[in-house]
Structure 1
Amino acid sequence: MSHRLIPAVCVSAGLAVISGCTPTINAANVTTEGVEVTTSSADAVNTTYGFIGKWMIDPDGQPARWLGYQLDDHNLREPVNVILVDKVAKTPQEAASRLVSAMQAAGYGPKGGHSVGYKGLILGQLYGQQPGGKDEAFSDGAWWQSNNHGRVFGPAPIDSGGYLWTAAFSREDFELISSMHHPYNSFKVARDDLSAKLSAAGTFKRLDTLKLDNALNTPTLTTDDHDGGAAVLVADK
């Protein structure tokens, strides 16, 4: 997610295809275009787990907007689309260690080439991103290929024991000739792929989908194919 401008030449699937690339909203999978709304870093939904923030938050404190990338002349907003509940971890440090191990086992280990400094809102408190390395995100591929990637926020303590994380994952392509290099592809594809691979790896298992009401398609804003739900995965061993 680096240096995004309007793409000129789009290369996807690891340089396999080169063609003219005009970004368009996946209209079949988003809500009907309606009245304009204003998004805020304080936007949150009261859920089974308490108040969960709707958006990944930029280093400047605003809802993340894919560094200004536009889709059909709409500004993107980057939704929280994954929730991880670790019922086993006894400390924040253990929760972080278990998170990284689970991501690595799922093929989503920390990788470089990404923008950093994002936050997530959980129970009224801002949490920084994991992974915490230089220019790192959790990703299933190198930055010079199409890849699914994201940041995880937390861990927030749960009253019943354990810790909760929220996350924002998306898929990006790779551009050979452009100052952006990484155009947006999908939110839903990345969410569902991460959920399936985490479940297969064994520590976290997908439980259900939690409605966060963060799907947008207004005259100026979009979350494209995001359906407003976060995949909930639980670790109980």
Structure 2
Amino acid sequence: MTRILPAALLALSALLAACAPAQTGPLPDPATYRPGPADVATLPDLGPVGRWMITRTLEPATWLGERVSGRTLREPINVLILDRTSTTPEAATARLNAAMTAAGYGPKNMHSDGYSGQLGERLYPQLPPSGKGLAFSDGPWYVSNHHGRVFGPAPVQGGYLFSAAFSLEDMRWLPKPGHTYNSFKATREDLATRLNATGLYRRAPNVDLGNRLDTPQETTGDHDGQAALLTTP
């Protein structure tokens, strides 16, 4: 037992370092973010929706440097949640949090944080809030788990809109502890199915965000460019 505990603490320390990349300078102001034309999809009735999860340094997230077949892995927005029932941002957020918990995706620790997503003309910080290493997840950090972050709520015609980036990650212990990418599509489908089952949202037809990448330099893994759309009943 005395040998196992130090090893476990070392593993935990290494994972914490991986989940919180070092910041070498002041963070840019989110208000200065200027997406390129290829970074935004303009949707009927919903307006501009950013295609990527955005880091603290206002760049598209790349799964903590994970590479797939030698290519950079970019993290796409793959879930949209439209609330036409709530009358305030606070009520929309409360409904979202309740639905995530009911779906088995309550906030869990040991994840990187500090991400944002574009809705309309601005960036919205992540939910769960940054600062505690939280993500919405269906399992603890030390096993494979579906996890992600939600951005919003942004006011749209007749309601509030959230965007989200979710993925399935595996736990790697050797040669050093850390999480590895498994799938975007599997988690999109799992989350949409479970949220639909809560009765707080219902699944609608997918939305084409046009954010599939497959170039010699970059990929979005198994993502097909589609976002699952959940709406209030």
- Where 2:171 maps in the other structure, the secondary structure is coil
Gaps of 5+ in 2: 1-14, 20-33
Contact 1:213 1:228 in 2 (8 A): yes
Q: Distance between the aligned counterparts of 1:223 and 1:159, measured in 2?
A: 30
Report deviation, 1:233: 0.3
Correspondence list, 1:138-157, <5 A? 138-157=136-155
Residue 45 of structure 1 corresponds to 41
Residue 131 of structure 1 corresponds to 128
The partner residue of 1:102 within 95, 99, 104 is 99
Give TM-score scaled by structure 1 length: 0.81
Q: Deviations over 1:70-124 (max 9, x none)?
A: 1110000000000000111111111111110000000000000100000000112
- Where 1:230 maps in the other structure, the secondary structure is strand
Q: Distance between the aligned counterparts of 2:151 and 2:210, measured in 1?
A: 19
Q: Deviations over 1:38-79 (max 9, x none)?
A: xx8441011121111100001110000011111110000000
Q: Distance between the aligned counterparts of 1:115 and 1:233, measured in 2?
A: 25
Report deviation, 1:180: 4.6
Q: Distance between the aligned counterparts of 1:196 and 1:214, measured in 2?
A: 22
Report deviation, 1:179: 3.0
Percentage of pairs with the same residue: 47
Letter in 2 for 1:174: M
Q: Distance between the aligned counterparts of 2:177 and 2:155, measured in 1?
A: 38
Higher relative contact order (CA 8 A, sep 6+): 1
- Where 1:95 maps in the other structure, the secondary structure is helix
Contact 1:139 1:148 in 2 (8 A): yes
Contact 2:109 2:141 in 1 (8 A): yes
Contact 1:77 1:221 in 2 (8 A): yes
Contact 1:151 1:168 in 2 (8 A): yes
Q: Distance between the aligned counterparts of 2:230 and 2:100, measured in 1?
A: 12
Q: Distance between the aligned counterparts of 2:202 and 2:35, measured in 1?
A: 29
Root-mean-square deviation (CA, aligned residues, Å) is: 1.5
Q: Distance between the aligned counterparts of 1:97 and 1:203, measured in 2?
A: 11
